[in-house]
Structure 1
Amino acid sequence: MIDRRGLLAGLATTAALAACGRGGSANTDVLRVGSQKGGTKSLMLASGALDGVSYEVEWSEFPAAQNLLEALGSSAVDLGLVGDAPFQFAYQAGSPIKAVSAQRTQSRIDGALSILVPARSPVRDGKGLKGKRIATTRGSVGHYLVLRSLMASGYGPGDVELAFLSPSDSRAALQTGAVDAWSTWMPYVAAAQAEGDRIVVDGRDFVQGYGFDVAPESAIERKRAQLSDFLAREAKALQWARNHVDLYGAVLARETGLPPDIARATAEKNVRLRVPIDAGVISDQQVVLDTFRRFGEVKTVRPIDKAFADHI
């Protein structure tokens, strides 16, 4: 049996936040990159993509996209990968950020984003969530999944109660029965399944699989060359990860403290490839934005095409 407290502590730890506190550094010899747990940092280290880089990469780690986007919006970090839903949520809230690169999963992968319930729960599908209390992080891909699932079941905003919590607090709430379900992403999905929780809604049917490298406007202006170089290296790392799942998983385990089997499952389900930001991508993002607006979660109207930077 996996030690539950140790696993949750490993997943929830936010490393190097003190480095983020410097904020707004104009030093172009340093690129400050934010990484979600088991995300960009592990990928770049595993692939060796940063070998020979001519500038310093300063890493900061975050438990969820919301925290990373707050750091990006305050120019505490220069670059970070987030899902499409949290990016749109933050951008429409007025954050001075733009997407500088896009990634997308190349196939529909089971369980990478899911709504889970305890093993003993009577809930078996999305319709069974009516009247239930669901934990997720506000503005996250998990939040977006709940809304899409409600739409698919013919439900409205009042048919479930949302509890906006951090991933670690969400997991604890599910364990104690304070909530009935948890909408989350890898590696939290794999960790919850290892403890016996069940998937009742699989996000593969509701999300488009996009992730965006996001930068504050200040970094786009001052560090364009470093951003361009890092993104090119990241694209090569993504290609590498497709063919080296075991090696990628081993580094994930070392960097995150996850058990090897959970780290490998995360590596297998987190592989994306870089795609151009074109009219099709922007059109797909309109679906995300319209969903948040339909449920009253987003009220401002920033032009969606302005959310993407010119070629970096």
Structure 2
Amino acid sequence: MTSSLSLTRRSALGTLAALGAASAFAQGASTVRIGYQKSSTLIVVLKTQGTLERQLAPLGVKPSWHEFTSGLPLLEALNLDNLDFSADVADTVPVFAQAAGAQLTFVAQEAPSPSAQAILVREDSPIKTLADLKGKKVGFAKAAGAHYLLIAALDKAGLSLKDIGQAYLTPADGRAAFEKGAIDAWVVWDPFLAAAQRQAKVRVLADGTGIASYQRYYLASTKFATARADVLDVIYAELAKAGLWVKANPKDAAALLAPVWGIDAATVEQANSRRSYSVRPAVREGLAEQQKIADAFVAEKLLPRKIDALASPLFKPEAAA
């Protein structure tokens, strides 16, 4: 059976080829290859401020940066050994990678942020309830947190994915399709969610509150985690500091991120207000919802096999010891 990750291989080829990184990471290597996406706020803060360049220098290591449009191709790159570390991805994404056999170690997680993703409809849409999605076309990114939010929301309304028309779309393509009426509803996360709310006439049909907790995870290849725990200790510590800074200084954080994201500062501040940015070690009991998510995707025949999410390797940061 073709793995779920292989379904995105064609779309990821250009990104993977552009990485041009060595195929293996050895003890003492001078570069840590970091993958991230626009919603990887804390990594973007560290990248913009040059923090990791400074903090990793004493270890003889420097970061190289690789941006992805969404989490699934990001973790595919990690699985293919084209990255060493993945900035935060939604809780749904690792289960797809694990089902494809990826050797991943959970480095950290952010506390839940359920309102940071939502199902949007146009302001004048006749869709008023989740049940009204039956027979409608809905756009979302495959394997993103938005995908699971949609599954869980439909289930709450007594529906399933079979009851709707599905369109796998990146956030940029989803916004375009939504605005021209090619899809009836769009499931997306911040900062794309905040941008749509402030720039278009939209209505939130449902967010993740009471449906999907939306935790975000930071991961490394297990090989890298074994070889360079010292590097991961530095990254973890700086992510935790960045999370505290963003929440304590919302306007300064928005001013920093706005030109990087190409979004006005007010929109960035709105998006950041819905994310916890509380970075903590990944713990075994915290992966319970991962198992629930994996089982939901298996039931929808979107994963090739069952996985044991609770058996995932966990990294214990020195700062949390």
TM-score, normalized by the shorter chain, greater than 0.5: yes
- 2:11 paired residue number: none
Change (3 A) 1:300 1:294: same
Question: What is the CA–CA distance in structure 2 between the aligned matches of 1:308 and 1:31, rounded to whole Å?
Answer: 20
Distance 1:37 1:310, change over 3 A: closer
Say if 1:77 and 1:24 are closer, same or farther in 2 by CA, change over 3 A.
same
Task: Assess if the C-alpha contact under 8 Å between 2:108 and 2:236 holds in 1.
Answer: yes
1:120 is aligned to 124
Percent identity between the two aligned chains: 27
| Equivalent residue number for residue 185 of structure 1 | 189
Match of 2:32, as an amino acid?
A: L
CA contact (8 A) 1:78 1:219 kept: yes
Cα distance in 2 for partners of 1:252, 1:281 equals 29
Whether the 8 Å CA contact 2:16–2:77 is kept in 1: the answer is no
Q: Which secondary structure state, in structure 1, belongs to the residue aligned with residue 106 of structure 2? A: strand
Which among 83, 86, 91 is matched to residue 90 of structure 2? Answer: 83
1:204 aligns to what SS in structure 2?
A: coil
Distance (whole Å) between structure 2 residues aligned to residue 89 and residue 184 of structure 1: 19
| Deviations 1:95-126 (CA, angstroms, capped at 9, x unpaired) | 23232222213xx664x100111222111221
Deviation at 1:38, TM superposition (A): 4.1
Residue 65 of structure 2 is aligned to residue 59 of structure 1:
yes
Structure 1 residue 37 and structure 2 residue 38: aligned?
yes
TM-score of the superposed pair, with normalisation by structure 2: 0.84
Partner residue of 1:69 out of 67, 75, 81: 75
The equivalent residue for 1:243 is: 248
- Number of equivalenced pairs: 295
Question: Residue in 2 aligned with 1:268?
Answer: 273
Q: Residues of 2 paired with 1:117 and 1:128: CA distance?
A: 11
Residues 141-198 of structure 1: CA deviation (Å, up to 9, x unaligned): 1110110001100112321121112111111211222211111101111121121222
Alignment RMSD = 2.3
Structure 1 counterpart of 2:288: 283
Q: Which runs of 5+ in 1 are unaligned?
A: 1-14
Give the secondary structure class of the aligned counterpart of 2:92: helix
Q: Counterparts in 2 of 1:191-210, with a 5 A limit?
A: 191-193=195-197, 194-210=199-215
Change (3 A) 1:303 1:138: same
C-alpha deviations, 1:206-225, integer Å up to 9, x for none?
A: 11231111112232233222
Q: Which sits farther off after the overlay, 221-230 or 40-49? A: 40-49
1:93 corresponds in structure 2 to 100
Calculate the TM-score normalised by the size of structure 1. 0.86
Name which of structure 1's ranges 19-28 and 243-252 shifts more when overlaid on structure 2: 19-28
Give the 3 Å change call, closer, same or farther, for CA 223–204 of structure 1 in structure 2. same
8 Å CA contact 1:114, 1:185 repeated in 2: yes
Letter in 2 for 1:61: E
Which structure 2 segments of 5+ residues have no match?
1-13
